[in-house]
Amino acid sequence: MADYASELKRKTMTAERAAELVRSNSWVDYGFGLGQPDLFDKALAARVSKLEDVKIRGCLAMRPRAAVEADPEGRHISYLSWYFSGLERAMHDKGLCHHIPMNFGEAPDYYRRFNQVDVAVLKTAPIDEHGFFNFGPSVTYHKAVTEKAKTVIVETDASVPYVFGLENGVHISEVTGVIDAGSTALPTLQNPPAGRVEQKVAEQIASEIENGACIQIGIGAMPNAVCELLAGSPIKELGVHTEMFVDSLMTLYETGKVTGAHKQTNRYQMSYCFAAGSTRLYRFLDRNPACFAGPVDYTNLPHHIMQNDRVVSICNAAQIDLSGQACSESAGVRQISGTGGQLQFIRGAYASRGGKAFLCLSSAYERGGRRESRIVARIADCNIVTTPRTDVMYVVTEYGMVNLKGKSVPERARALIGIAHPDFREELERKARECRLLPRRFF
């Protein structure tokens, strides 16, 4: 540590001084999730009126962004996100945030090949004995950001877990300035509890998972209900290769169901590129050799995923039509989230030996006091197709599970009507015939 003490002292600056490095017409990158800065953000907010056409690029913000809130009419700051959190969705509804479409696993390549980064500001763990600032559980595309940025600022926080893995830090020699944030309470993310529908979906998926399978799950009641069922089942020797590390995976590991003994990559370790959850989860990840944090092009690209056998991918969908194409990120023109890693994990799981990819959805939902079907004849106007019909494998609702691989359009339509809510099946069949998805005589 003594070798870097003088350089650290020389590069340490206040958040206000760091914010002065941002000029008009700059691209500023805030990074991902827990890795987004807070002190710097507040300092930049104080300078907003002095700047013009500053573009902030971020992803899955877990706290309100002060610089955006300081410019409620968007005259000075534009915020752009790869994948919306609830906070970014609210900013989007106010016209203060715009979406950048992306397959998540391609993000590092986007930065290295296409994206301009004038100033990168990332929250990290404090400097280690080797002069590195560890990215913590937000490895994702941060290394590529620091490689591309003209100016790199790190905001160190002692609460950030120190993670083991690949491309998981930046050296002080590559850093322009260091902001010492002390030790703060990191934002947490709570999983919604599983209800009756989620339990029924989870039961069907859990029955399809074999000993030694390698699982990927995301946030949400359905995927986490699967983990709860597996924790109490006789299953054994599971592996984990996932995009997002969540509390239910930690619980599954603690019950002894996860060993990683059958993985081909990072054997005996759980691979992920980012984490969000409870404070206990962050403590679990800190210097834990059972966990491997890699960049998102390591965790999410299909040709990496498929190297493991029996990969099981469990993702959510918001709407699916009778031909099989799935919408998981928008409600009409309103962006809800993003493509994220869904399409790449579905492709990677299918390509793995014995792999299975599941899309989960409740059969219906309530809107304006009316029940609406999530299975529709045709994707609603302006809805974004996240997963093409050619990629969808298993579709699961509380009324059953169907595998669309190898099925014709009429067979798909009939299968999906069969797992729709009973109140909508007759109407769906009528519309399917009107759209010529079903012939007069179904074989």
Do 134 and 125 form a contact (C-beta atoms < 8 A)?
Answer: yes
Instruction: Give backbone dihedrals phi and psi of 270, rounded to 5 degrees, phi first.
Output: -95, 120
Confidence tier at 115 by pLDDT (50, 70, 90): very high
Nearest to 83 by CA among 330, 272, 340, 333: 340
pLDDT at 192: 80
Rounded to two decimals, what is the model's pTM? 0.95
Whole-number Å distance between alpha carbons of 114 and 116 = 7
DSSP SS3 for 181: coil
What's the structural domain count of the chain? Answer: 2
Confidence tier at 89 by pLDDT (50, 70, 90): very high
Q: Note the Cα 161 to chain centre separation in Å.
A: 19
Instruction: Give backbone dihedrals phi and psi of 331, rounded to 5 degrees, phi first.
Output: -125, 90
Confidence tier at 187 by pLDDT (50, 70, 90): very high
| Strands 97-99 and 244-245, bridge-based pairing | unpaired
DSSP SS3 for 287: coil
Nearest to 40 by CA among 154, 183, 188: 154
Average pLDDT over residues 111-133: 97
Confidence tier at 332 by pLDDT (50, 70, 90): confident
Whole-number Å distance between alpha carbons of 280 and 285 = 9
117 contacts: CB under 8 Å, gap ≥ 6: 27, 29, 57, 111, 145, 148, 149, 150
Average pLDDT over residues 134-160: 98
**The pLDDT of residue 31 is above 90:** yes
Last residue of a domain, one of 126, 154, 180: 180
Residue 266 lies in a domain: yes
Last residue of a domain, one of 130, 152, 180: 180
**The pLDDT of residue 382 is above 90:** no
Q: Which residues pair with 371 in a beta bridge?
A: 366
pLDDT at 441: 65
**The pLDDT of residue 440 is above 80:** no
Domain CATH for 429: 3.40.1080.20
The answer to whether residues 175 and 203 belong to one domain is: no
pLDDT at 269: 98
pLDDT at 369: 87
What secondary structure, in 3-state letters, does 389-443 show?
Answer: CCCCCEEEECCEEEECCCCCHHHHHHHHHHCCCHHHHHHHHHHHHHCCCCCCCCC
**The pLDDT of residue 2 is above 90:** no
The answer to whether residues 375 and 409 belong to one domain is: yes
pLDDT at 83: 97
For residue 109, the enclosing domain spans 2-180
The answer to whether residues 200 and 176 belong to one domain is: no
The answer to whether residues 287 and 427 belong to one domain is: yes
pLDDT at 190: 86
| Strands 169-171 and 132-134, bridge-based pairing | antiparallel
Average pLDDT over residues 19-31: 98
Residue for token pair 């210097």: 287
The answer to whether residues 313 and 376 belong to one domain is: yes
Domain CATH for 163: 3.40.1080.10
Residue 263 lies in a domain: yes
Highest-pLDDT range among 286-295, 365-374, 427-436: 286-295
Catalytic residue at 106? no
Residue 441 lies in a domain: no
The answer to whether residues 325 and 265 belong to one domain is: yes
Average pLDDT over residues 55-61: 98
Residue 381 lies in a domain: yes
Average pLDDT over residues 244-257: 96
Q: Note the Cα 323 to chain centre separation in Å.
A: 26
Confidence tier at 219 by pLDDT (50, 70, 90): confident
Last residue of a domain, one of 126, 151, 180: 180
Residue for token pair 């099925």: 407
Catalytic residue among 155, 243, 329, 398: 243
